[in-house]
Amino acid sequence: MGLLQDIAPDAAEAFLSVATSVTGRRWVGPAPGADRLTEALVQATGLADPVARVLVRLNVAPETATAYLSPALRDLLPDPLTLRDMHAAAARFLQAVARNERIAIFADYDVDGGASAALLLTWLRAMGRRATLYIPDRIDEGYGPNVPAMRALAREHDLIVCVDCGTLSHEPVAAAEGADVVILDHHLGGETLPAALAVVNPNRQDEDGALGHLCAAAVVFLMLVEAGRQLREQGAKGPNLLEFLDLVALATVADVAPLIGVNRALVRQGLAVMAQRRRPGLVALADVARLDTAPTSYTLGYVFGPRVNAGGRIGAADLGARLLATDDPHEAAALAQRLDALNTERREIEAAVRDAALEQAEGRGLDGPLVWAAGEGWHPGVVGIVAARLKEATGRPAVVIGLDGDEGKGSGRSVGGIDLGAAIHKVAGEGLLLKGGGHRMAAGLTVARDRLEPAMTRLSELLARQGAGRLGPADLRLDGLLMPGAATVELCESLERCGPFGQGAPAPRFAFPGVRITQAREVGTGHLKVRFDDGFGGGIDAIAFNALEGPMGQCLVQHGGARFHLAGRLEINVWQGRQRVQVKLEDAAPA
């Protein structure tokens, strides 16, 4: 069966003839040839048509469908030794453990860094060892190792393990005199590497990039896999690493790593581990967020991730890592409460910066290859989130910068197919940025105030060469049509098996054609609850968050009996122990 990789749907006619929806988007349906491939997949596997359509969109062939729906980590996990320096890194780590040496873990302040640190701390605790956790302050120290911190750590420790950072830290690593340094990272490397004992990074220049989609926590996990192998060769045994997959799953989704290959298996099995509620920190997070269902990839990215990140953004940088690493339920509950409060404060700060950034970006124009904004005193802890909001609103890479004195510190977020980290790294190499780097979907930078405009102009040029801006933001991609009566709990569960969904694997979206709105009312503050049916008894509920702030909410509230095409994602809503299907409504158009 041929796949759809080389078929571009962009030139196709608007799906259901919706060239401009009530939110201003064009609807794009399945690629040409998808119907034929879907039918072949249904016949070969017996799967429901909507499920087959999603698998076809994901380029899954009939002969691999069964394995895809049940990804096995043992079949997909790469040999750790395919990464350079891996054997040396694991051996030095085990040597420090065997000799009871003093170990320091230097981690980034985001979820990936916190989860990476927690993986090592949890493993060491299981082996009866401890380590010093060091996470730099976002504002005072910035990202990654710095000379004073590394020098101080080297005076008191024999081994420093840098996780989710360090690949570009030549001077700080050199300053760690008297201690060995091991780097476990995934950020884009330069032409030369720091003088560390080992630099394990799938995005080193001398790697083939086959594992470049791994987040740092996955790299740390592979190092622990190799450590376990070396222990077995010595006749010893390490902890059960399957119990660590909850942290790897959290980091993979929160760091917007593409959910392809082994990442799918890591997240799928990590979610299963998380559902067992064994890690006190994640249990406390679930309780403070009032979750009453098993976690999903959405939970990791939008419920857990922001709270773990909140400490590094506007509070104490180590709170998230401490929460993920603790084995004390009481400490976990206290840390989760504090992070939840910081997250609420972060949202308030973010809202003010977002409004100002959007106004500035609109004045500059939203139709170029890069959307950017810079403002005086914008909090460094929220510029990344605001960049993500601009990216979501415009469908373009976005950079947001907070100016302070002669410099500005910013973060960027990218869209599928555009490598923002490489572009920023190049601009830094050309001298237009003081510092810059990252990975495909997210990056950071420091720029001199007087070089801001030329730096952004150059970055825009580089992103344009990659194709940024060619696809307008007004495209909503849909997997096909669905009637309300067909939206069952069983279908939702079958669709969930095609996941996990996230970066590189968008969640299924369906259009409900020509339906009748039977109820539309506000719930909460600005949210819209809708009930619709097809006129034949197939009714279903839908929820549209913050819809009353935009055109879709007002249009549906004032429907006047007209029929609409509605589009969104299916989800299972649990209320008082009962499961019901509802639609997470994303768009609408007059039928």
What tens-digit pLDDT sequence spans the chain (591 residues)? 445 443 344 445 899 999 999 988 899 999 889 999 999 999 999 999 999 999 999 999 999 999 999 999 999 999 999 999 999 999 999 999 999 999 999 999 999 999 999 999 999 999 999 999 999 998 889 889 999 999 999 999 999 999 999 999 999 999 999 999 999 999 999 999 999 999 999 999 999 999 999 999 999 999 999 999 999 999 999 999 999 999 999 999 999 899 999 999 999 999 999 999 999 999 999 999 999 888 999 899 999 999 999 998 888 899 999 999 999 999 999 999 999 999 999 999 999 999 999 999 999 988 899 999 999 999 988 999 999 999 988 889 999 999 999 999 999 999 888 999 999 999 999 999 999 988 888 999 999 999 999 999 999 999 999 989 775 555 899 999 999 999 999 999 999 999 999 877 889 999 999 999 999 999 988 899 999 999 887 789 999 988 888 889 989 999 988 999 999 999 988 777 788 999 999 999 999
CATH node for 76-340:
3.90.1640.30
User: pLDDT at position 9, please?
Assistant: 43
Q: Please name which of 147, 201, 204, 219 lies closest in space to residue 176, comparing C-alpha atoms.
A: 147
pLDDT value of residue 5: 44
Q: What confidence tens digit (pLDDT) does each residue in 110-153 have?
A: 999 999 999 999 999 999 999 999 999 988 898 899 999 999 99
CA distance 410 to 401: 4
Domain ranges of the chain: 9-70+476-590, 76-340, 365-465
CA distances to 183, 459, 557 from 484, rounded to whole Å, are 52, 46, 20
Pure H helices in 365-433: 383-394, 420-429
User: Phi/psi of residue 376, each to 5°?
Assistant: -70, 125
DSSP 8-class letter at 304: I
CA angle 444, 213, 350 (to 5 degrees): 35
**Contact, 40 vs 1, CB < 8 A?**
yes
Counting other chains too, the contacts that 24-27 makes at CB distance below 8 Å and 24 or more residues apart are 24/474, 24/551, 25/473, 25/474, 25/475, 25/476, 25/587, 26/472, 26/474, 26/475, 26/476, 27/476, 27/478, 27/511, 27/565, 27/567, 27/587, 27/589
Distances (CA, A) of 171 to 152, 176, 195, 446: 14, 9, 9, 17
> What is d(CA 241, CA 224) in angstroms, rounded to the nearest whole number?
8
CA distance 115 to 185: 13
DSSP bridge pairs for 578 = 575
Query: The tokens 């350079």 sit on which residue?
Result: 84
| CA–CA dist 469, 421 (Å, integer) | 17
Encoded tokens for 497: 């098996």
- So what's the pLDDT on residue 474? 59
> Could you give the CA distance from residue 10 to residue 503 in angstroms, rounded to a whole number?
20
Task: Tell me what pLDDT residue 416 has.
Answer: 81
CATH of 9-70+476-590, one of 1.10.10.60, 3.10.20.340, 3.50.50.60, 2.40.50.460: 2.40.50.460
pLDDT value of residue 76? 95
Pairing between β-strand 407-413 and β-strand 442-448 as defined by DSSP bridges? antiparallel
What's domain 365-465's architecture? Roll (3.10)
